[in-house]
């Protein structure tokens, strides 16, 4: 039977108890609930709302309950609905009626709000740490393969040659924006709602600043109605996680492609691949594929939370119980994906000979030939037209551009001279020396900058 019986003359139907209970999943918040309760008890004593002895007794009882949970000796009861009532009921068994004083000047509405914010603050820190770990793995591979050339693609068609390090640094930049998003999310998560009561505040001389300091919150909520019903911080976390997972999915997709026989640019370590149940030759990039697949679930949780919130009037509504399962799964999915991707990236074997061959094929230097004509004074649009015709000719003859002789070049423009025969993958890459380009000098600068960001732990540009 629930300890909150009040005006009701009979217990809730068993099916209703099961349907409304959140203890199967919100028991995960036990540490946060206990920490918030201990801070609240200290504040009540400081403000002489309860005695110091009572606060000490509450604190001792809560520490014992925490140990019971961590040691697997705590009996969670569905009829007590949630983690808050499970802990409060057990506290009453341990210390008697004094346990009832702990709920003075607070409601389960602001209690769950503070627990969830404490959880999200930790999750944000772990997400940033996981992002930094993957960034470090990308930098390790980029540094070890600084001179490796790969084809750059648009529309999944070979476009221009680039350095592999430049390609990997593109993912570093994506993850850096993810770090910034989580850092920004923390600003609005780091707000203490405790002290808001059920919805209107509390009629006791509480010290919210003291509680905020005890729980390491940098701000205090300014409106009690908003504080108990706000889940923007959950939505923001899930939004940041969705974008991060989208980036991981893109990386996973490229590793799936690059590890195929058709590309052959990398080999995924055996520890991050699986075999086939029927085809013994297969080495499947299942880790990359699962990261790609799990992205949909994370995005789904974001859509679910937005949909839950869009119809809620002020203030607290039981719909908000639906904020936790999706959030917990999002946190677990993001952190595990970041960890496993970091290991997979760090152990990649780059097939430099194969990438170099691919970077020199498919008329990939056509833009450089057009740029050559531009430097001779031809407007780019005309140069583009000339080289397009030149490529068509080469295709018809079954030749790559570097297999054409000067006479063949000059059939399409008198501006071609012997210098065009020096256009190469190396010259193409070196030429792109503007900030953000793939030239070795620029890649070295970006590697240094990236390593500095990871080392400092900071974000931003």
Residues recorded for the chain: 461
pLDDT of residue 18: 83
pLDDT of residue 278: 85
CATH class as words, domain 361-451:
mainly alpha
Higher-scoring residue by pLDDT: 440, 456: 440
How buried is 257 (Cβ within 10 angstroms: 0-12 exposed, 13-18 middle, 19+ buried)?
middle
pLDDT of residue 343: 98
Which neighbouring-strand residues pair with 349?
A: 267
Rounded CA separation 280/282 (Å)? 6
Residue 7 has pLDDT above 80, yes or no: no
CB atoms under 10 Å from CB of 29, counted, come to 23
Query: Residue with structure tokens 């450089």?
Result: 368
Which of these, 433, 383, 438, lies nearest to 161 by C-alpha position?
438
The 10s digit of each residue's pLDDT in 39-77 is 999 999 999 999 999 999 999 999 999 999 999 999 999
Kindly list the domain boundaries of the chain, sorted by start residue: 14-104, 109-198+226-358, 361-451
Mean model confidence pLDDT for the chain: 95
Q: Which fold has domain 109-198+226-358?
A: Fumarase C; Chain A, domain 2 (1.20.200)
Residue 460 has pLDDT above 60, yes or no: no
Indicate which residues carry an active-site annotation: 155, 276
Which of these, 206, 225, 20, lies nearest to 106 by C-alpha position?
206
Q: Which fold has domain 14-104?
A: Fumarase C; Chain B, domain 1 (1.10.275)
């Amino acid at each position: 039977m629930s300890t909150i019986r009040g005006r009701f003359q009979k217990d809730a139907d068993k099916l209703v108890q099961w349907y409304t209970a959140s203890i199967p999943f919100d028991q995960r918040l036990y540490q946060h609930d206990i920490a918030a309760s201990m801070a609240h008890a200290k504040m009540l004593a400081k403000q002489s709302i309860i005695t110091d002895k009572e606060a000490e007794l509450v604190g001792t009882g809560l520490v014992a309950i925490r140990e019971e949970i961590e040691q697997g000796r705590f009996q969670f009861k569905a009829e007590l609905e949630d983690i808050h009532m499970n802990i409060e009921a057990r506290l009453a068994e341990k210390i008697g009626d004094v346990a009832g004083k702990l709920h003075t000047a607070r409601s389960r509405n602001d209690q769950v709000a503070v627990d969830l914010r404490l959880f999200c603050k930790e999750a944000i820190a772990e997400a940033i740490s996981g992002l930094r770990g993957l960034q470090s793995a990308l930098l390790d591979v980029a540094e070890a393969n600084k001179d490796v050339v790969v084809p750059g693609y648009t529309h999944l068609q070979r476009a221009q040659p680039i350095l592999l390090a430049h390609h990997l640094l593109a993912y570093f930049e994506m993850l850096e924006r993810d770090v910034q998003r989580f850092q920004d999310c923390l600003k609005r998560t780091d707000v203490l709602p405790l002290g808001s009561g059920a919805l209107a505040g509390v009629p006791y001389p509480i010290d919210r600043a003291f509680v905020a300091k005890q729980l390491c919150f940098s701000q205090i909520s300014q409106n009690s109605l908003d504080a108990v019903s706000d889940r923007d911080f959950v939505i923001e976390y899930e939004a940041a996680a969705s974008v991060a997972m989208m980036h991981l999915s893109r990386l996973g997709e490229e590793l799936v492609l690059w590890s195929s026989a058709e590309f052959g640019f990398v080999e995924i370590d055996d520890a991050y691949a699986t075999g086939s149940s029927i085809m013994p030759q297969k080495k499947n990039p299942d880790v990359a594929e699962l990261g790609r697949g799990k992205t949909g679930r994370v995005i789904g949780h974001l859509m679910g939370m937005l949909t839950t919130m869009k119809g809620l009037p002020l203030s607290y509504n039981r719909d908000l119980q639906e904020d936790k399962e999706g959030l917990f799964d999002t946190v677990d999915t993001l952190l595990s994906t970041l960890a496993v991707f970091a290991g997979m990236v760090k152990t990649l074997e780059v097939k430099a000979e194969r990438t170099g061959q691919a970077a020199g094929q498919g008329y990939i230097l056509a833009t450089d030939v057009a740029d050559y004509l531009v430097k001779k004074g031809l407007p780019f649009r005309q140069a583009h037209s000339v080289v397009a015709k030149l490529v068509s000719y080469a295709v018809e003859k079954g030749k790559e551009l570097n297999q054409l002789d000067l006479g063949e070049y000059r059939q399409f423009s008198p501006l071609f001279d012997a210098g065009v025969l020096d256009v190469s993958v190396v010259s193409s890459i070196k030429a792109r020396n503007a900030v953000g380009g793939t030239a070795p000098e620029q890649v070295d600068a970006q590697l240094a900058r990236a390593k500095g960001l990871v080392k400092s732990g900071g974000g931003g540009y």
